[in-house]
């Protein structure tokens, strides 16, 4: 409804047709509207939050209660072509394994208004080659 006046007119129209009191007609309209439009919860229009579930860490996930040790490395390039390069740019060590950070650089040439080619480098770092340490029993 655009405003309160339209709702009141709708209630009065129902009162004329059904003979109900104003309160009864209003409740019936609100009940019908509630049935037609699903409720979004009591949090002011937001859907209800899902119940929290305890997550069980997988063996390859880093420990939740441990900061990583940063392994000092120089950039370890893998491959370079005319327009791209791939390298290992970081390693983090945990008690149960390590993470490798791989960075890809892509060079795309752009021309400015004068026609001069300007290199544009796009960087994408992805983390997450996680390798758990395998602990064997003796």
- Residue 126's pLDDT is 61
**Tally of domains within the chain:** 2
Q: Residue 79: phi, psi to the nearest 5?
A: -150, 150
Residues 73 and 128 in one domain: yes
19-78 confidence digits (pLDDT tens): 888 888 888 888 887 766 665 555 556 777 777 777 777 777 778 888 999 988 888 888
Residues 73 and 126 in one domain: yes
Among 68-82, 91-105, 116-130, the range scoring the smallest mean pLDDT is: 116-130
Q: Is residue 64 domain-resident?
A: no
The single-letter DSSP state of residue 52 is P
Residues 73 and 122 in one domain: yes
Range of the domain at 85: 69-132
Bridging pattern class, strands 84-94 and 76-80: antiparallel
Residues 30 and 76 in one domain: no
Q: Is residue 57 domain-resident?
A: no
Q: Is residue 102 domain-resident?
A: yes
Residues 75 and 28 in one domain: no
First to last CA, the chain: 74
Q: Residue 21: phi, psi to the nearest 5?
A: -75, 165
Residues 128 and 86 in one domain: yes
Residues 29 and 74 in one domain: no
Q: Is residue 8 domain-resident?
A: yes
Residues 76 and 119 in one domain: yes
């Amino acid at each position: 409804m655009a405003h309160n006046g339209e709702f009141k007119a709708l209630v009065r129209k129902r009162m004329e047709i059904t003979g109900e009191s104003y309160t009864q007609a209003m409740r019936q309209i609100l009940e019908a509207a509630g049935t037609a439009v699903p409720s979004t919860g009591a949090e002011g229009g937001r859907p209800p939050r899902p119940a929290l579930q305890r997550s069980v860490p997988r063996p390859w996930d880093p420990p939740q209660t441990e900061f990583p040790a940063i392994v000092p490395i120089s950039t370890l390039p893998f491959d370079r072509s005319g327009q791209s390069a791939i390298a290992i740019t970081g390693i983090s060590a945990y008690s149960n394994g390590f993470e490798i950070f791989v960075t890809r650089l892509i060079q795309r040439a752009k021309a400015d208004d004068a026609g001069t080619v300007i290199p544009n480098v796009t960087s994408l770092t992805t983390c997450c080659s996680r390798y758990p340490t395998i602990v064997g029993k003796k």
